Homo-oligomer: A and B are copies of this chain.
Amino acid sequence: MQSEQPVSRFGEVELADLPEDLRERLTPIAEKTGFLPNIFRALGRRPAELRAFLDYHDALMNSDDGLSKAERELVVVATSGANRCPYCVVAHGAILRIRAKDPRIADHVALDPHGCALEPRQRAIVDLALALCREPERFGEPHLRAARAAGLTDDEIWDVGSITALFAASNRLAHLCALRPNDEFYSLGR
């Protein structure tokens, strides 16, 4: 593998150089995780965009209402795997392993989201995400019916759809930047 890849094609901003509100917001994350995830250093180039991204992310990912946090990460990893986004798979794969307490699930969901063996509720969640992920113009009533038949509520369906949408954006930003995953993510939760 090519050594010395930069964090991002467009350069990065260190925590100390971010505006104060972002510094205050990200410092606890960096302290808790032990490092600042590279996505924040890359998006730091545009503080207003980073703020909006963080707000959108937090509105969708930091809740246990309806979808559990592990299920939310499952949507992220399935979507990011379908979009072959290394940053999001490596970073959120680590979080999924931790939240699902399963060292193997992320590798399977990222690589083989359509076929991997999941519990029925997990499979319904992943199928719904995949229906919207790559060919959103084919999304329609049959997907909603299948999700409802599996017991998903409308709020849960909205969550799956919105997380898929947010990571459609996130995966494209990471591919745009050729964003490098932090080394620490690869082995977390294994």
Which residues in A have some Cβ–Cβ distance to B below 8 Å? 1-2, 5, 9-10, 45-46, 48-49, 51-53, 55-56, 59-60, 81, 83-86, 89-90, 100, 102-105, 107-112, 114-119, 122, 132-133, 136-140, 144, 154, 158, 161-162, 164-166, 168-173, 175-176, 178, 181, 183, 186-187, 190
Copies of this chain per assembly: 6
| A162 and B49 alpha carbons, distance in the complex (Å) | 9
Give the residues in chain B near A133, CB-CB below 8 Å.
172
Q: Are B139 and A176 in contact, CB atoms less than 8 angstroms apart?
A: yes
Q: Are A114 and B138 in contact, CB atoms less than 8 angstroms apart?
A: yes
| A86 and B107 alpha carbons, distance in the complex (Å) | 8
